[in-house]
A and B are shown apart, each in its own frame.
Chain A
């Protein structure tokens, strides 16, 4: 095997010429300017390597970037078949390699009670919001190759705006399903939750095991004053697929974000979730569930940034590894100078179900202020033998007892999802993996 320079191999496909194609197919000038700025940054930032601390446990070379082709910008297409899940939501967005479709199930879009549209369209009708939020201030960590890549090359952009004081009863579902071999999807999601609004957004990523895809996604979530946003991301790409996600949230005064990340799919996932509670009384609840079995590799990094005093964050990531699965959790709680009266917590629990599987946990604290309370915890271990024994003594087989305990371990996270149908689906998926 010849070693190729990853940077060259990757950027050869996503180079200036390719970028020109993307720019020409972008109708709006303000979006073009944003893409250009991102592209300029993307070009100057070197491709991460396994020598970078963040990528030390997930070698970028393990993702065969060169095998994937950027899909052309997605256009609106006719609606596909409705799924049972769809009926639980007000608005359903379906995305595939053929294009996307937005279904206004309860007439909210028509009445103006909610905005869900493509970023290109939003640039026309909500120019000011787009100018302010797309590839905007939520990106608190500079020099990130894949965030900039996403900003330059996104081929599907979705804009969700919840008007001030609006309460969206059922929520928005964004369903990605790819069935094209070697497709590279670069989705960008921007959610702007207006003052005092309430809404749920669910994203589901799916593909077949036999159909390898690469997804390089980025989310920007802006939670306005006193708003509450619940975001659920269920990542179930097929076992031959790859996912890189760099997601950012900004939470304003008195606002709250509940952000649940469920990672069950792909061969290799590398995700970063950064949340800035940036004004007094801003709250962030970050939860995660991940399960790597067979040859899966899941690497998740979280950042709880406290840049204002009197802010609160609570993180709980629970994971299991089985077979040759390898999971990595890296977490940082960062308190800026002056961020006093902060209360931050971070917990990472891991189940290592057999020798051969591996879990790495790197919880971290970076504290530059004094009057606060920040703590983290991390545990690793197998199922409790006493609990197993108890179940066995009640007549359950070893396998049944194990499944039950693993599900019970995850239940704390699953219960946070306010859609029973989805809960059940996740339980089944976990069940299948045990």
Chain B
């Protein structure tokens, strides 16, 4: 029988994205004040309204207190000890060319920036530290009227769209980190899918934190106009360092009548070393708004990195018959901490939501699910089904579940189920009796446990997620 009780030595799995790119950086000195924000805004050549918008958010942020209610522990963050802008220096002469070094970086990460090499069917926006370095497949998208570019570009070229939708889902003063992000966000992606267009290729953003002592504050806005469809993929990595870095992103999704947005994330930020030193603080606000009738927003996330993850991709189901989905796998190992889950707010009639959350804790990690299902009095016939399962590998980790269900409509039906248990010894025994070693057996059981979520991912991504989990699980038994 496999002996899981014994000290499960979680030998450092190789974090193959932990390399650093040596490249001249153009960074701001550390510190945050109104001048920094003005300078940042000027650097990006932003219009006056944007600068004002940032300053307003900053002033709100000053009055806010950092929330501490999550089940995560970390030393206080010194917001003056972070550089709020860092970008690879570009040669003034050929500014349009992407630096060779950076190209290599993204190639090592498996993100092809050359369009000819591009994985067929995926358009990529790559964000390196604070700025977007390249967006591929633009022309193909332009034919359909799809706008996919960095948010900075959108502010310049599509200000009317940005003005109309930015911060309408996550207001600037929504929470401490959203306010900070609004004040200092540097880049991110912007997508607009026009009426009736089914985006034929997957849109993808790859985020990379490279420089030391920087924070990455990305801002993503996706608008799916009436009857349109888009699938969006996000991936993240960072070099291994022994200092913590802050990543505070805001992602807003807006689905108008009959529109569908599928948002998938594989988050593999550097998670710190075995002693819990270093790693990314991933404090993210993600929220979708099903604004129109019959719209649908689906979040799928695979969280395997970051020393601390704190995020709740949510859906506000306002349009009648709208659908919200949340599929999540959160894997924690070593001294990682994850407090993640979702919020489904049912406003419209016949709204439906599904939540499937799979938590796997190993090592000395803490893994919490926190969720809210709120059925407002107006949500006739609302329906929710929630399932969250936790699996424990080793006896020093913890798994917590904190769901909140609030029901104010008598025609609504909500169901919530949660289980926590050890990886099944019987299943392991069965697989091992077929001649498969313990590590592979564990990996198989864990993959089976996560299957419901993986099958929601786009195909290539799903394969990658399974591989990723396998690597993360290496040495976590025995």
Contact = CB atoms under 8 A, between A and B. Distances in A.
B404 A360 contact: yes
Interface string B363-398: 000000000000101000000000000101111111
B402 interface: yes
25 contacts: A53-B69, A338-B395, A350-B407, A352-B407, A352-B412, A353-B410, A355-B411, A356-B377, A358-B406, A361-B416, A362-B405, A365-B401, A366-B398, A367-B390, A367-B392, A370-B392, A370-B393, A370-B397, A370-B422, A372-B421, A372-B422, A374-B420, A376-B416, A378-B415, A382-B411
Contacts of A353: 410
B416 A371 contact: no
A360 B420 contact: no
A380 B422 contact: no
Contacts, number: 123
Most chain-B CB neighbours within 10 Å: which of A365, A373, A381? Answer: A365
- Nearest 6 pairs of A and B residues by beta carbon: A375-B419, A381-B413, A370-B392, A365-B401, A378-B416, A380-B407
A375 B394 CA distance: 19
B268 interface: no
B415 A379 contact: yes
B141 interface: no
Contact of A379 (B396, B411, B416): B416
Contacts of A366: 398, 400
A64 interface: no
Interface in A372-395: 372-382
A125 interface: no
A358 B219 CA distance: 36
B199 interface: no
Interface string B1-44: 00011000000000000000000000000000000000000000
B314 to A, nearest CB: 17
A27 interface: no
Nearest to A330: B404
- Interface bracket on B: 35 or more
Interface of B: 4-5, 69, 375, 377, 390, 392-422
B407 A358 contact: yes
Interface in A316-374: 337-338, 340, 350, 352-374
Do most interface residues of chain B lie in helix, strand or loop, or is the interface mixed? Answer: strand
A170 B281 CA distance: 60
Contacts of B408: 352, 355-358
B405 A364 contact: no
B116 to A, nearest CB: 50
Given A369-B392, A376-B417, 16 more contacts: A350-B407, A352-B408, A358-B408, A361-B406, A363-B416, A364-B402, A366-B400, A370-B5, A370-B392, A371-B395, A377-B415, A377-B417, A380-B375, A380-B407, A382-B410, A382-B411
Most chain-B CB neighbours within 10 Å: which of A352, A371, A380? Answer: A380
Contacts of A361: 403-407, 416
A375 B422 contact: no
Contacts of B392: 367, 369-371
- Interface bracket on A: 35 or more
Nearest to B398: A368
Contacts of B400: 364-367
Contacts of B422: 370-372
A71 to B, nearest CB: 37
B420 to A, nearest CB: 5
A352 B377 CA distance: 11
Do most interface residues of chain A lie in helix, strand or loop, or is the interface mixed? Answer: strand
A355 B420 contact: no
B202 to A, nearest CB: 36
Contacts of A378: 403, 405, 414-416
A365 B407 contact: no
A149 to B, nearest CB: 26
Most chain-B CB neighbours within 10 Å: which of A53, A365, A370, A379? Answer: A370
Nearest to A352: B410
A363 B407 contact: no
Nearest to B370: A364
B414 A379 contact: yes
A372 B420 contact: yes
Given A352-B409, A355-B410, A382-B411, A364 B416 contact: no
Contacts of A358: 406-408
B408 to A, nearest CB: 5
Given A53-B69, A355-B377, A365-B400, A380 B390 contact: no
A360 B418 contact: no
A411 to B, nearest CB: 21
B459 to A, nearest CB: 33
A338 B5 CA distance: 10
Nearest to B367: A367
A337 B395 contact: yes
A275 B271 CA distance: 38
Contacts of A356: 377, 408
A161 B466 CA distance: 59
A376 B420 CA distance: 9
B403 A373 contact: no
B105 to A, nearest CB: 39
A347 to B, nearest CB: 10
